[in-house]
Chains A and B, each alone.
Chain A
Amino acid sequence: MSLLHRLYATRWQRIEKMTTNTHTPPGSILRWLGVIALPTVLTLAFLWAGGWLTPHRLTQASMLDALRKGSGMQSGFRRNHAKGICVAGWFEGNGNISSLSTATVLKKERIPVIGRFALAGGLPYQADAPGKVRSMALRLSPSDGQEWRMGINDIPVFPVGTPQEFHDLQLASRPDPATGKPDPTRMQAFRTSHPWLQPAMAQIGQRPVSSGFADDTYHSLDSFLLVAEDGTKTAIRWAMVPVQPAMPDAGHTNDHDYLFQQVIKDIHTHPLQWRLMVTLAGKDDAIDNPSKEWSQDDRQIDAGTLTLTGIGSEENGPCTGITFDPLVLPKGVMPSGDPILQARSAAYMRSFYLRSGEGPTTPAISPEMTALPATAKDKRS
């Protein structure tokens, strides 16, 4: 025991003896208040931190509730982009942006990829249709473990700029139980109260629609920061641009799964490829707002090629146990200040937690549908 402490202890013993001698009754109200004050304050602070004292705070649960209002409870499925299919292949960087980022995935190296194509929305059995938003999700796994996950979409900009706007848009666009379609007056009210989102909504509405998953362009929408060896940061967005020529939509009105059936056929016929086109932010581009388009004059760099060669049902598929959290980033890539990224990461975590606990599902795209034509024939005979 230190000398200082010994002195302290003796002094305390003396005080203790004094208090014992004066024989204070042990239970004065003030002393009891002193006992419970700190635990009470901590409990209140804990309840506040967990959002229980602020019912209007936007939480992971309220985001998922808003999504569920549109799709109903779909046990075991992803809370958004519920209808999907697993794909596999590799990514090969070309080193073109290695000077801007230390990420190993961007080096000249072949890296295994597990991915997923999906339709936006929480309905796992929805019918395919040309106007529905399609997504590509990827997990790039280099040998050093510095994974890069992304969930990218075939719209030019994100319809909203903040998590609150996303939440409110989900509520506004939820289907009316009577018609099964969004209530036009509710949508109109959202548009009127959010005039600054008009350009984004117009750009999404007027985007060219390609024939399927294979010839579609998928955009990061959110911005990220590349970090160079010397710490220099460069704000970027990126897109996966198809090497396959983009064909206009051919119209398939009554075909429930035509988009998925087409991509299954495509991958069974030949590998599908995309170029990773990285766009460097110009000086007037909005980095922290995914609903704002960037200038057409921005510098673009081809950073590598994605090749997809395998496809399979989500039933026991390799992509099912993966959440494509856009903030699972390698060293050398960082999130920007875009608030949507934070909300996506948080909501994906909760969706992954809930759906995993609910157990396996029977996805719309079954293993029979994704099997090689020859194997499918064997099964039938």
Chain B
Amino acid sequence: MRNIEAFPLSSRILHWGMAVMILAMLFIGVFIASTVGSGYHRLVALHRSLGIAILVLAVLRLGNRLRTPSPPLPADLPPVMKVGAHASHILLYTLMIVLPLVGWGMLSAGGYPIPIWGQSVLLPPILPHNPMLWAWLRSLHTVLAFLLFGLVLAHIAAALFHGLIRRDGVLRSML
């Protein structure tokens, strides 16, 4: 029952690398939406580049997740928690991919050039220039980011719940 296997090394590297990136991204995002200070332009540029990096990694990670089997959840985990665990993971993967796409799409609709990694690469627009669409996607970007932050918090709390309260090896499987 408690013989939970660990995730493969590739999964753990992707998980922790992206954990740092996504948390950084959420904090930078909420900061640049409110600041008028000296770091604004550089942080917006970083936000764009990091967002595209997360998109690429999230797609790789989804492939990795579908290819390599994940350790099963403890058999004695209440069904509600099992459903919660599965649903929240589906949502996390969805947002990791959708949120950067909404960001890319909103800048396209806003008619902005989309340079990443300095000025070296210009991403092509993925949506037509349309100010109403830009405003709508800009709002959606905020709502989805708050949702992702909430999910990350729930994910952390759940991991600590497994590690400190249930002590069932689930947290260990990702360390």
A interface residues with partner B (beta carbon < 8 Å): 1-2, 5, 8-9, 12-13, 16-17, 19-20, 26-27, 31-32, 34-36, 38-39, 42-43, 45-46, 49-51, 57-61, 63, 145-147, 163, 320-323, 325, 327-328, 330-331, 335, 337, 339, 341-343, 345-347, 352-354, 356-357, 359
Q: How far is the CB of B40 from chain A (nearest CB, A)?
A: 4
Are the CB atoms of B36 and A58 closer together than 8 Å?
Answer: yes
B interface residues with partner A (beta carbon < 8 Å): 2-3, 5-6, 8-9, 23, 26-27, 30-41, 44, 110-113, 119-120, 122, 129-132, 134-136, 138-139, 149, 152-154, 156-157, 160-161, 164-169, 172
* CB neighbours of A39 from chain B (8 A): 153-154, 156-157
A50 to B34, CA, bound (A): 6
Closest residue of chain B to A26, judged by CB? B165
Are the CB atoms of A26 and B157 closer together than 8 Å?
Answer: no
Are the CB atoms of B119 and A35 closer together than 8 Å?
Answer: no
A252 to B166, CA, bound (A): 81
* CB neighbours of A35 from chain B (8 A): 157, 160-161, 164-165
Contacts A16-B169, A335-B41; is A346 near B36 (CB within 8 Å)? yes
* CB neighbours of A12 from chain B (8 A): 169, 172
* CB neighbours of B41 from chain A (8 A): 327, 335, 341-342, 345
A356 to B26, CA, bound (A): 24
Are the CB atoms of B6 and A1 closer together than 8 Å?
Answer: yes
Closest residue of chain A to B119, judged by CB? A331
Are the CB atoms of B160 and A50 closer together than 8 Å?
Answer: no
Contacts A356-B131, A357-B136; is A49 near B31 (CB within 8 Å)? yes
Q: How far is the CB of A266 from chain B (nearest CB, A)?
A: 27
Are the CB atoms of A34 and B164 closer together than 8 Å?
Answer: yes
A331 to B122, CA, bound (A): 11
* CB neighbours of A321 from chain B (8 A): 111, 129-131
Are the CB atoms of A346 and B2 closer together than 8 Å?
Answer: no
A35 to B164, CA, bound (A): 7
Contacts A42-B153, A321-B131; is A352 near B110 (CB within 8 Å)? yes
Which of A27, A163, A330, A357 is B36 in contact with, Cβ under 8 Å?
A163
Are the CB atoms of A32 and B30 closer together than 8 Å?
Answer: no
Are the CB atoms of A359 and B132 closer together than 8 Å?
Answer: yes
Are the CB atoms of B157 and A342 closer together than 8 Å?
Answer: no
Which of B34, B136, B153 is A61 in contact with, Cβ under 8 Å?
B34
Which of B36, B122, B154 is A347 in contact with, Cβ under 8 Å?
B36
Are the CB atoms of B132 and A357 closer together than 8 Å?
Answer: yes
Are the CB atoms of B35 and A51 closer together than 8 Å?
Answer: yes
